[in-house]
Structure 1
Amino acid sequence: MVTNRQKIQGIIFDLDGTLLSSDLNFQLLRELTGCPAGGDILAHIDSLECEQQKQQAHDIVREHEMRDAGQSHWLPGAREMVYGLKQHGFQMAIVTRNISDAAKLKMSHNQVPIELVLSREDAPAKPDPTALLQIARYWQLPVDQIIYVGDFRYDVEAANNAGMVSCLYAPEVRPDYASQADMMVTHFDDLAEQLLNQSGHDI
């Protein structure tokens, strides 16, 4: 529940797998970039000593991200939630591990009404909390008045590292790291209801 802290004033979302679909084949990307099975692809690329190999790996990921962006769509309930929360005056932003161009294409393609978007080119990739803290400073809000919503371990860890309320979106299977999140939702109707109730808004 979000009521165990101060009232939430700002909401930061992950993009892929949270608001919008993503069909990226991470197993294939690991194979193409030489990343070990189960490893963090971006961290692996950054660890490469050969600049040519590093650039080739970045180019591979970029190509797949851009292709995926053009095929993306809203996930169930996400569009209604975002537009509803916007109508009620919540501040909203997105922090994504995507490149900026892919994020912009996804946002434009799906008409996502959120202007503040930080990519991995703007700040270190999650679970590093830098991007989340930058947004908190920009909004001039205490971190415990901000909730970060995402669908993966890195999202939960980033929110916890920033001292924000961590919300795990898990519509199908409860992952083994769900206990690390402050709250978990299986449908965005639940999150919208909680946020509007704690703010005294009519649903």
Structure 2
Amino acid sequence: MKAVLFDLDGTLIDTAADFIRIIQEMCRQEGKAVVDTELIRTQVSEGARAMVKLVYPELEVEDPVFLAHRQRFLNLYGQDIAVDTDLFTGMYPLLETLEQHQIPWGIVTNKPRNLSESLLEALNLTERCAVLVCPEDVSRTKPDPEPMYLAAEQIQITVKDCIYVGDHPRDIDAGRNAGMYTILAAYGYLPLAHKDDLNAWQADCIVNDVAELQQIIYKLVDIQPASA
């Protein structure tokens, strides 16, 4: 394997704490019962709409009132995008080792580009990331393979030589559909509807923490453990 691509939230970067902070504050402002922390975590990979729905379950998602709340949520998140956010423990050494061995790494995400770029900038990852593919860059997002093809094209590496790591079924489907080697990050924000049978996702490999992820990636890209 010659490159490693990651999903963003829940795979490369642990963003949940900031989402939890904002959603729970919205609950308090509205005088609503505060949504459970773990329930919010399971909705992070489902996007802003799903998280805001936890606060306003009575509203239809196309309701102008709901859309206004969703925009308020996005505005609050954009203003303080990395207060409690950082890479998952062990991810910095993994990225550094890949860079030392000239193995490009990048991101394929369904997170909007403006938020993705702001997040990478806040964590000083912008120049280190070899490719960033967001929904605005393609006509069809994950689970369609189009974003995966674009990422491979931009780093000039064939899809069969790319690893894709994700924590949602659409990540694994996108990687599989493109012919990439897929790794399910079981330490991430697994959606409630799919977390009980991870084998059903049909990933090539399942890892329970970043330490396991490191071992698998180093083996696949042929980096000796002593070099890590």
How far off its partner does 1:67 sit?
Answer: 5.0
The alpha carbon displacement at 1:195 in A equals 2.8
Measure the CA separation in 1 of the matches of 2:58 and 2:181: 31
For 2:115, the equivalent position in structure 1 comes to: 102
* Range 168-177 or range 68-77, more displaced: 168-177
* Structure-2 residue corresponding to 1:150: 166
- Sequence identity, in percent? 23
- The alpha-carbon distance between structure 1 residues 32 and 200, as it changes in their structure 2 partners (threshold 3 A), is closer
Instruction: Pick from 176, 183, 188 the counterpart of residue 197 of structure 2.
Output: 176
User: TM-score scaled to structure 1, two decimals?
Assistant: 0.75
57-66 or 185-194, which moves further after superposition? 57-66
Deviation at 1:20, TM superposition (A): 0.9
For residues 118-133 of structure 1, the aligned pairs below 5 Å read 118-123=133-138, 124-133=140-149
Give the corresponding residue for 2:7. 14
Given the two structures, how large is their TM-score scaled by the length of structure 2? 0.68
Name the CA distance, whole Å, in 2 between partners of 1:35 and 1:130: 35
Could you tell me which amino acid in structure 1 is paired with residue 104 of structure 2?
Q
Measured in 1, the distance between the counterparts of 2:91 and 2:53 equals 29
Please list the CA deviations of residues 116-172 of structure 1 after superposition, one character each: whole Å capped at 9, or x if unmatched: 111122123311211110122223322221111011111111111111111101128
- Whole-Å Cα distance in 1 between the matches of residues 150 and 137 of structure 2? 10
Q: Is the 8 A contact 1:14 1:150 kept in 2?
A: yes
* Aligned residue in 1 for 2:22: none
* Letter of the 1:88 counterpart: H
Q: Structure 2: state its 5+ residue gaps.
A: 20-39, 44-49
Distance in 2 separating the partners of 1:114 and 1:184: 24
Aligned counterpart in structure 2 of residue 163 of structure 1, from 151, 175, 179: 179
1:97 and 1:35 mapped to 2: Cα distance?
26
- Kept in 2, the 8 Å contact 1:95–1:132? The answer is yes
Q: CA deviation at 1:198?
A: 3.9
Output the CA distance in 2 between the equivalents of 1:145 and 1:84: 18
2:104–2:130 CA contact under 8 A, matched in 1: no
Give the RMSD, CA atoms, in angstroms.
3.0
2:47: which partner in 1?
none
Matched length: 185
The one of 113, 116, 122 equivalent to 2:131 is 116
Of 176-185 and 64-73, the range deviating more from structure 2: 64-73
Q: 1:73 to 1:200 in 2, by over 3 A?
A: closer
Conserved 8 A contact 2:88-2:210: no
